[in-house]
């Protein structure tokens, strides 16, 4: 893709701070550095989001995430945790439309990063949950 900033980074048309690279995966420091060591892991093949992954791309990309995560942990012993985030489509806060995984090291509760989840469990009955699970399971099975 000619207009993709991440494709340009992979092709060395735009500089980046590389932390890992092989034939299929490229990982580099995010320029925002939400926390120290914030790294992006991307497939070299252009795919917009997770909905375009096939099993091969998923396997190649996700198999490298633990290795890169361990590299972060060893590089920054003060790290106390790690958020793994993948945003898909604009509503889910995807801003670069080349799929990528954020590895965000966590150092303390006050490291300028937070995620909150609402608990809406009480809005769904047991029957609703069973129906949702069955629908999803059948959709996956028939795909």
Distance from C-alpha of 135 to C-alpha of 112, rounded to nearest angstrom: 38
Q: What confidence tens digit (pLDDT) does each residue in 64-115 have?
A: 999 999 999 999 999 999 999 999 999 999 999 999 999 999 999 888 888 8
Q: Percentage of residues in the chain with pLDDT exceeding 70?
A: 99
Mean confidence (pLDDT) of the chain: 94
Q: Rounded to whole angstroms, how far apart are CA atoms 41 and 64?
A: 9
pLDDT score of 28 more than 70: yes
Q: What is the average pLDDT across 6-20?
A: 97
Residue 136 lies in a domain: no
In a domain, 138, yes or no: no
Q: HEC string of 31-91?
A: CCCCCCCCEEEEECCCCCCHHHCCHHHHHHHHCCHHHHHHHHHHHCCCCCEEEEECCCCHH
Segment among 1-5, 14-18, 45-49, 50-54 with least mean pLDDT: 1-5
Q: Per the domain annotation, does 41 fall within a domain?
A: yes
98 a catalytic residue? no
Prediction pTM value: 0.91
Residue 39 pLDDT > 70? yes
Kindly tell me if the per-residue pLDDT of 119 is higher than 90: yes
On whether residue 126 sits in a domain, the answer given is no
pLDDT at 29 over 80: yes
Whole domain around residue 32: which residue ranges?
5-116
- Residue 104 and residue 6: Cα distance in Å, rounded? 18
Q: Quickly tell me which residue has 């995984």 as its tokens.
A: 101
Domain membership flag for residue 63: yes
Contacts of 17 (CB under 8 A, 6+ apart): 28, 29
Task: Say if 30 falls within a structural domain.
Answer: yes
Contact call for residues 4 and 46 (beta carbons, < 8 A): yes
Share of the chain above pLDDT 90, in %: 89
Q: Convert the pLDDT of each residue in 46-71 to its tens digit.
A: 999 999 999 999 999 999 999 999 99
- The total domain count for the chain is 1
Structure tokens given for 10: 């992979």
CATH number of the CATH domain containing 32: 3.30.428.10
129 lies in a domain? no
Q: Closest Cα partner for 74 from 46, 48, 108, 105?
A: 105
Tell me if 82 is assigned to some domain.
yes
Task: Find the catalytic residue in 38, 46, 98, 100.
Answer: 100
Average pLDDT over residues 24-43: 97
The terminus-to-terminus CA distance of the chain in angstroms comes to 28
């Amino acid at each position: 893709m000619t207009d993709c900033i991440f494709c340009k980074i992979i092709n060395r048309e735009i500089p980046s701070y590389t932390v890992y690279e092989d034939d299929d995966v490229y990982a580099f420091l995010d320029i925002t550095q939400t926390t120290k060591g914030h790294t992006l892991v991307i497939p070299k093949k252009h795919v917009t989001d997770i909905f375009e992954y096939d099993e091969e791309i998923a396997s190649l990309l996700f198999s490298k995430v633990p290795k890169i995560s361990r590299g972060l942990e060893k590089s920054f012993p003060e790290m106390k945790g790690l958020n793994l985030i993948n945003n898909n489509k604009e509503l889910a806060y995807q801003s670069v439309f080349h799929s990528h995984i954020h590895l965000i090291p966590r150092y303390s509760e006050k490291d300028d990063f937070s995620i909150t989840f609402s608990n809406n469990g009480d809005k769904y009955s047991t029957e609703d949950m069973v129906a949702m699970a069955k629908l999803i399971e059948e959709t996956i099975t028939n795909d």
